[in-house]
Amino acid sequence: MPETLLPEPLLEVRQLTKNFHVPGAKGNNTLCALDKIDLHVGRGETLGLVGESGCGKSTLARTLLMLETPDSGSVRFDGVDPFGLKSRDLLAWRRRVQMVFQDPFASLNARMTAGEIVSEPWATHRDLYPTKAARQARLSELFTLVGLRPGDAGKSPQEFSGGQRQRIGIARALALNPDVIVLDEPVSALDLSVQAQVLNLLNELQQRLGVAYIFISHDLSVVRHVADRVAVMYLGRIVETGSTEEVFDRPRHPYTAALMSASPQLDVSGLAPRERIILQGEMPSPLDPPSGCRFRTRCWKAQDICATQAPEPRVSLTDPRHISECHFPLEHTDTEPEPLAHAS
């Protein structure tokens, strides 16, 4: 892949494969959750990961956090393979990758105070802030950083609103000063007006701290807003990746085009009725994926070759970093992308 001219990315994943054994499944009982995933994330960058339920995005996130062990492939983080690390080095590595969960109501322990939740990581990573005074000072700093009052550290999670709870979750992720934060649907449980506050906070934190995000979301308008680059997943594979502008304005894979076309748009101009692609059928079972191209059973461009041969990654002519896996990629002759909706 023509990535060699760039400086080495912070996180690089090559040919990552993860299978699960499903006992009791009829016939084939190997579920291929991740199939030869290639991706990279640079320092201070946001990679958006999109795809529908069951496409493998959460397994990918869990594997990057070393909560799952891959069957094959490699992960390199700042030049080292975290899966080869032992004890102390591993502990030190874990600091650098943290996570924010989707549901701020389920992911915070109701029996702990907000302050205890945010400072809990320091119980494992003792040398980071060794004295009580240092921990106290850092706790106040973190609360202020995410827009909470340090005086509220003694309150329990139930006393906070949904948006404030997600701020607690973000503060907990920041407690170990990570280089990468995996955000798994961080705003999808929040109301729109509160969602905007949290997105603004994430943006501000990235600019101040230089932390990289892997931002998992099903909401394309959110991903378009936050991500520098996007990877689209379908049935365990990344079917398209590239810069956010490229992928959104000139999608090459039919699945990406269908996904974008399916999400409703807030276009109130009322001038241009839009043709919507409605995919037929449902995502096939990952226990029994289609031969060849995995999307072919729902693809309107599918031909015989798609059933026999898995498509190789292909580079777009307009942007060498825009890669898609399709035998018949969509071409975009019009240079003018569809206008974005504007409400005011």
Partner 1 sequence: MSTITQTVGAPDVRAEDQLVLDVNGLVVELRTPKGTLRAVDRVSFQAFSGRTIALLGESGCGKSMTAKAIAGLLDPIADVAAGQVRLNGTDLAALTPKERRKFAGPELGIVFQDALTALNPVYTVGTQLGEAFRIHHRLSAKAAKVKAVELMRRVGIPEPESRVDSYPHQFSGGMRQRVLIAMAVALNPRLLIADEPTTALDVTVQAQIMALLRDLRTETHMAVVLITHDLALVAEEADTVAVMYAGKVVETGPVREVFAEPHHPYTRGLLDSVPANIGRGEDLKSIAGSPPELHNIPVGCVYQSRCPLVQDICRTVSPPLEPSGAGRTVACHFSKELENA
Among 106, 110, 266, 317, binds partner 1 (CB under 8 A): 266
Amino acid identity, residue 3?
A: E
Shortest spacing between CB 136 and partner 1, in angstroms: 28
Are 263 and 50 a contacting pair, CB within 8 Å? no
Shortest spacing between CB 125 and partner 1, in angstroms: 31
Distance of alpha carbon 109 from alpha carbon 168, whole angstroms = 11
Q: Residue 184 pairs with which residues in a beta bridge?
A: 216
Shortest spacing between CB 340 and partner 1, in angstroms: 6
Shortest spacing between CB 306 and partner 1, in angstroms: 11
Q: Which stretch binds partner 1 (CB under 8 A): 56-64, 74-82, 128-136, 223-231?
A: 223-231
* Alpha helix segments (H runs only) across 96-161: 114-119, 121-124, 132-145
Binding to partner 1 by residue 134, rule CB under 8 A? no
Among 265, 313, 328, 332, binds partner 1 (CB under 8 A): 265
CA dist 301 to 107, 249, 293, 306, Å?
Answer: 42, 20, 11, 9
Q: Between 110 and 266, whose beta carbon lies closer to partner 1?
A: 266
Binding to partner 1 by residue 343, rule CB under 8 A? yes
* One-character DSSP codes across 193-261: HHHHHHHHHHHHHHHHH--EEEEE-S-HHHHHHH-SEEEEEETTEEEEEEEHHHHHHS--SHHHHHHHH
Q: Which stretch binds partner 1 (CB under 8 A): 57-65, 129-137, 171-179, 291-299?
A: 291-299
Amino acid identity, residue 213?
A: Y
DSSP helix/strand/coil, 85: coil
Q: Give the long-range contacts of residues 244-251, CB within 8 A, separation 24 or more.
A: 244/48, 246/316, 246/318, 246/319, 246/321, 246/322, 247/322, 248/220, 248/224, 248/337, 249/332, 249/337, 249/338, 250/316, 250/318, 250/322, 250/332, 250/337, 251/330
Among 21, 274, 304, 334, binds partner 1 (CB under 8 A): 274
Amino acid identity, residue 295?
A: F
Determine the size of the site formed for partner 1 (CB under 8 A): 57
Using alpha carbons, select from 334, 323, 269, 330 the residue that is nearest to residue 38.
323
Are 243 and 321 a contacting pair, CB within 8 Å? yes
Q: Between 144 and 285, whose beta carbon lies closer to partner 1?
A: 285
Binding to partner 1 by residue 226, rule CB under 8 A? yes
Binding to partner 1 by residue 19, rule CB under 8 A? no
Q: Which stretch binds partner 1 (CB under 8 A): 19-27, 134-142, 161-169, 331-339?
A: 161-169
Q: Which stretch binds partner 1 (CB under 8 A): 22-30, 128-136, 160-168, 307-315?
A: 160-168
Binding to partner 1 by residue 59, rule CB under 8 A? no
Among 197, 209, 315, 321, binds partner 1 (CB under 8 A): 197
Q: Which stretch binds partner 1 (CB under 8 A): 14-22, 113-121, 208-216, 277-285?
A: 277-285
Among 95, 125, 225, 314, binds partner 1 (CB under 8 A): 225
* Binding stretches for partner 1 (CB under 8 A): 52-53, 161-163, 191-197, 199-200, 203, 218, 220-222, 224-227, 244, 258-259, 261-270, 272-282, 297-300, 302, 340-344
